[in-house]
Structure 1
Amino acid sequence: MAAPRILVLTGAGISADSGVDTFRTQGGLWERHDWREVATPEGFAADPGKVHGFYNGRRAALPEVRPNAAHRALADLERRLEKDGGRLTLVTQNVDDLHQRAGSREVLPIHGSLDRASCTACGAVHEWRQDLSVETPCPGCGKAGGMQPYVVWFGEMPRHLDEAEAALDEADLFVSIGTSGSVYPAAGLVAAARAGGTRCLELNLEPSENAGLFDDTRYGKAAQIVPEWAEELTW
């Protein structure tokens, strides 16, 4: 049997096991911050300093966290599949870089990346690991005031959707890991997979809002159930 082609969607639940702050859980980021003020284009226009402060804090925390067993298991699975002619495409809603640091290569960060910054003046995207402010000049065009976090805010269209949909069209299995099932269009991938006849698996701490659309489900901490599933997978 040929190695399968797998599309994996990951959300906050996989990074939570590394100690990354989540958004919707009790005590999470949206209980401590008003998303309208720090995660919308309108919020940035009204108070860019406040938005920069929010993302500066999240960016500064990245070196303090490490990929966990779930991240590593997906990176290992990608290598196993490639060796046998299969493929693993990883679509992540997370803006941390834990998948990449674990060794995953085919990663589509549809909500952007904390380690990038973009310039509204010239459109350039730069690697960025230090703080941003309204005084920060663009390394490309030199203009100050236009640098912003390279993240997708509420009301904006996620990135890499065409690539994700193309990979889903070819997938034999769709796996959703650590997602709430409430953030679209990512939450719509399972319905698209089912419509195309692709088998669907949910690996989550608890049932998502669209758990009923999955053919199989497993519940528990990502750092435990993802490695178990990956190790059991054969072809």
Structure 2
Amino acid sequence: MDLGLSDKVAIVTGGSRGIGRGIVLALAREGVRVVATYAGNRSAADETTQIAAGYPGTVTFIQSDVKDPDAAKSLVDEVVKMQGELHILVNNAGVALDGLILRYKDEDLDTIYRTNVFGAFYLCRAAARPMMKAKFGRFIMMGSVVGSMGNVGQAAYAGTKAALDGMAKSLAKELATRNITANVIAPGFIQTDMTDAMNEEAKATLLEWVPTKSLGTVDDVADATVFLASERARYITGHVLHVNGGLYMG
């Protein structure tokens, strides 16, 4: 099935590890010219580039601070200068600074909102114009199941993910006539280094909440991203796609 992604240009933030790496590789396999960002782990970025060697698409990494509005604009400008155009933005970079509200620090609140919300907004604002010029655009936000259902100790984090839901729905209405869609992918419990380190009892307790009785994989999230980025998803916009094995149904 042709997804219409060959030779498209994408920015993926936080693309050196975990879900971000999975998205970068999945897009590159479809022939996308991917420019991904990393915060500080250059070796992980280089490893991702090596894995993608020989794929139909290309992978290039740029170090960037998503919290900085000037850096966001510079990133988009550099990508357009390098690749000539921009079609897809995956706002994947984020932090999770958990804590009960009575003990939550102001500096952590500032960091989590500047990274997860402000950073996404800055990049969407910078990317909108080249997408309009290309007459094709895909904004994809990496949300979370907790943005819809909440969680103890995650008032700040859940708030940032719910903000992305509202941002995407507003962008969907604002840019629909320009052939630009905006959607959110909300992962549930995904197998990562953190879950691999959990003991079996803790995993079993976690899975009691999931009807499929299994953790999701990075590929599950990456495949959903590729679909929403493709021509096949042209009539889907303003949607929150839950990838969670039935943990939340809404």
TM class by shorter-chain length? 0.3 to 0.5
Larger relative contact order (Cα-Cα within 8 Å, sequence gap ≥ 6)? 1
Q: What TM-score results when the alignment is normalised by the length of structure 1?
A: 0.43
Which structure has greater strand proportion? 1
Which structure has greater helix proportion? 2
Larger radius of gyration: 1
Q: What TM-score results when the alignment is normalised by the length of structure 2?
A: 0.41
